[in-house]
Chains A and B, each alone.
Chain A
Amino acid sequence: MAEEREPPPLGDVGQADFVEVEDGEDLFVSTVTTIEQLSPTTPEPSCLPAEDISTNSNGPKQEILLDDDQEDLFAEATEEVSLDSPEREPILSDGPSPAITPVTPTVIITPRAEASMFDRSLDEDEDTEENGDTFDMQITVSDPEKVGDGMNAYMAYKVTTKTSLNLFSRNEFSVKRRFSDFLGLHSKLASKYMHIGYIVPPAPEKSIVGMTKVKVGKEDLSSAEFVEKRRSALQRYLTRTVTHPALLKDPDVIQFLENTELPRAVSTQALSGAGILRMVNKAAEAVNKMTIKMNESDAWFEEKQQQFENLDIQLRKLHASVESLVCHRKELSVNTASFAKSAAMLGNSEDHTALSRALSQLAEVEEKIDQLHQEQAYADFYLFSELLGDYVRLIAAVKGVFDQRMKTWSKWQDAQLLLQRKREAETKLQYANKPDKLQQAKDEIKEWETKVQQGERDFEQISKNIRQEVGRFELIKYWEAFLPEAKAIA
């Protein structure tokens, strides 16, 4: 049982889950229990229904797959297990890992889960569900501190986690992290989960200009702004990451939050070899995207893709408008300040006392107005603009996931094609009557058949994951969008 508690590394999770399944006599029962235990880990009301959906879509499939490979599960066949476990792990870990079960004291939404088991009712869940959860985890990023000097300086941020989840060894702890650590975490998560179809929240962007200013030590408004902007972006990033149930259990994430010392993530440097490699990869992917033409058989995907395209365009426009608004506000405050100064000068030189007084007062008023404008500009900036920027990036991540799906599909198709050819080759060989070559061909066919199957399974898997991810995504987004707006207007 101890091994269940520990956040197991990727490969082993499968086994831990297998253990649990092993224990459960009735497969279906164990599935249900995992569903029940699912609910506590949802972070926000809006997420809850999504989890239900995941179980909904997982439920039947989960059973089927487990049934099929029951023999495999209990055999100690290493080959098979390692092949399957990456697939297995995401499925089962949608149910919370057994590690979390003991902790959560909360509401078990059994009746609803059962009722809506086979049906994907996103909408009504969202509307009716209020607060039935305790996702107990709060992350704050604070205290940006400049460490070091000159061009080697960097900002260290304090990451404080308050949680009652048993995933972590303590209830409240904090560590010091720097920006490249965050980027390292993101790249690790992306490489692990993107190709399976999870939407990994994007990390804040690198800004060479901003960081150079900070490094050089310019104590002016823009660098303070930059640091503040980055701090809040990092906080949002971490919160989003832990909100995702699968990512939360990821050992890297836990290590990130808990460990005092973290190995330096060098591959995140902008100008390093790894950085350039990344850029080349991105370019290659972009070209690939254009050449792969996918036969969209699933209407749901088509619709969602379209929706996301639209949303992306809208959000980009909004973001641009807000940026320009913020920019103009800043300009206004600058201009008001200079007008205030010139009015003050006038007030000083003016003979007529009353007029002079009036002009000086005008100067003061204008200065106050200027302050007000500045504050408003900052408020707008932090709330709208940042959030919109985040969403634009999130959508880019979503698109990335869709693209992964396309890639998987194309791999599958390629594998099928190759299999076809191998079969043809085999038939030819049969006619030509060359027994050894025949055997070889048969082996190759077998190999390719497995590959095809795997491709197909991958594809199914990724599609399923995407569906559920998108479900989660939409709901969170609407909640998040509403809150700051309400605050801003107030």
Chain B
Amino acid sequence: MDASNKESALNVNASSIKISDVSQDGDMLTFAITSQNLSGSGGVCVFRTYEDFIWLQQSLFSQEDVPELQGVIFPPLPDKPLPSHSHTQAKVLKQLGFLSLGDKWQIYCKALELYLQQVAAHTLLSKNKELYNFLSSSESPGKQRSKKGIFNRLSQVMEEMRKEGHKDVDEFFQSERDKTTNLSVLFKVATEKFLEVVLTKQKLALACGHFSTSLHLCVNQENADAVAFSKICLKLSDIIETMKRNFEKVSDNDMSTLGLGLELESRYQEAKREMLFRRTCRLVELDNANKNVDRAKPNKKAHMEEVQKATQKEFNLISSVAKQEIVHYHRTRVQVLRDFLIDWCEKQLSTAQESSTLFSQYLEACKGLAV
């Protein structure tokens, strides 16, 4: 059973996982996930809600029998998608950032898709049979295990502050920790700034729209003088309309490529930081165990030593996994970011070329407009 499950888990072609559709029912979003087998023989489509994703994430976390899981950088799951009503708009924007923008949750779906793809491509995580169930079973998976959510966060924050400064035994990891702290902040800031730029562009598009409509309203055909003026107004209105569409397109491009990329990167940095933190916790434990061994009374000594050995082994395992993960992460993230950047540039370039041809046409038309 296990063997076959394992096989079927690996059988899924990671890159084929797509979120083909999303439907919104009140406040609830349902995603249609399609995936294909490695051999390309069969495809499956299932419907999942966000809660199901959370369940998946938790089951990935809580695999008991795999100690090295602690060293894994878990692909980050995007935050809960709250449909934005007018009064919650600002909050949603703050929470989800780029993911809340775009038509019909396009960008959010892409993020979720990437999440699934990353999980499925991960050597350790893809072995989880729950993943397979998630992707192919037509019935919805079980409910959430527990509501650890908030409390976990709070205690974690306290712990973090205590343990963050704990010096590492390994040079590599220490530098990694420092770098991550630095970079994750910077990426977050960059993402926020970029978000503001995109939002301003959208506002500009809106303002252009208003201008264009008010120009349109200036049209007045009654008076002979006014006809020339009206023609100019109409022409200008068209031009501004084009400007508006240009802005919209540009901001769309921004959102779907660089915005998404930056967003992803910052969340991944967070995940990496979490992983490193977990390792640090283990390290602290190990240190405590060592100290205990040194301080232990003779009757307890053997027990302590065992604990120490076990902790050490675990720690080493985690460290090695972590190292691998980090190396792998570095490689892939550069690639991912690069792809996003290239995509962004190409899209903006093509949009700009289109607009420039349109504008030069308008210029010609205006020059020919006799007054």
Residue among B183, B204, B239, B367 having the largest count of chain A Cβ atoms under 10 Å = B204
B362 adjacent to A489 (CB under 8 Å) = yes
Residue pair A318, B211 in contact (C-beta under 8 Å): yes
Contacts of A338 in B (CB 8 A): 193, 196
- Determine whether the beta carbon of A481 is less than 8 Å from that of B232: yes
Whether B330 lies near A352 (C-beta < 8 A) is: yes
Return chain B residues, CB-CB under 8 Å to A126. Answer: 225
0/1 per residue, B220-245, Cβ < 8 Å to A? 10011100110010001001000000
Query: A332-B201, A339-B196 are contacts. A355–B362 as well, Cβ < 8 Å?
Result: no
Task: Give residues 116-164 of B contacting A (CB, 8 Å).
Answer: none
A336 neighbours in B (Cβ, 8 Å)? 197
Count of residues in A whose CB is under 8 Å from the partner chain: 43
Q: Which of B148-207 contact A (CB under 8 A)?
A: 179, 182-183, 186-187, 189-190, 193-194, 196-197, 200-201, 203-204, 207
The reply to whether A489 and B200 contact each other, CB–CB distance below 8 Å, is no
Shortest C-beta distance, A349 to chain B (Å), equals: 6
Complex: how many Å from CA A282 to CA B211?
32
A contact residues around B341 at 8 Å (CB): 358, 362
In this complex, what residue of A is CB-closest to B183?
A: A349
| Shortest Cβ gap from A176 to chain B (Å) | 38
**Chain A residues near B211 (CB, 8 Å)?**
318, 321-322, 325
Tell me the complex Cα distance, A150–B363, Å: 48
Residue of B with least CB distance to A350: B183
Any chain A CB within 8 A of the CB of B334?
Answer: yes
Tell me the residues in window 305-334 of chain A with beta carbons closer than 8 Å to chain B beta carbons.
Answer: 307, 310, 314, 317-318, 321-322, 324-325, 328-329, 331-332
Q: Within B288-337, which residues are at the interface with A (CB < 8 Å)?
A: 330, 334, 337
Contact with B along A467-490 (1 / 0, CB 8 A): 000000011001101100110011
User: Which of B182, B190, B232 is close to A485, meaning CB atoms less than 8 Å apart?
Assistant: B232
Contact across chains for A481 and B225 when beta carbons are under 8 A apart: no
A355 CA to B179 CA, complexed, in Å? 15
A82 adjacent to chain B (CB < 8 Å): no
Give the residue among B189, B200, B341 with the most A Cβ atoms within 10 A: B200
* A342 proximal to B (CB < 8 A): yes
Asked if B190 contacts A352 (CB within 8 A), the reply is: no
In the complex, residue of chain A having the shortest beta-carbon distance to the beta carbon of B201? A332
CB pair B187–A355 under 8 Å, yes or no, is no
Residues of chain A within 8 A (CB-CB) of B228 are 478, 482
CB-CB < 8 A to B232: which residues of A?
481-482, 485
**Contact flags A279-322 to B (C-beta < 8 A → 1, else 0):** 00000000000000000000000000001001000100110011
Closest to B192 in A: A342
Contact present for B214 and A321 (CB under 8 Å): yes
Query: Contact residues of A with B, CB < 8 Å?
Result: 122-123, 126, 307, 310, 314, 317-318, 321-322, 324-325, 328-329, 331-332, 335-336, 338-339, 341-343, 345-346, 349-352, 354-355, 358, 362, 474-475, 478-479, 481-482, 485-486, 489-490
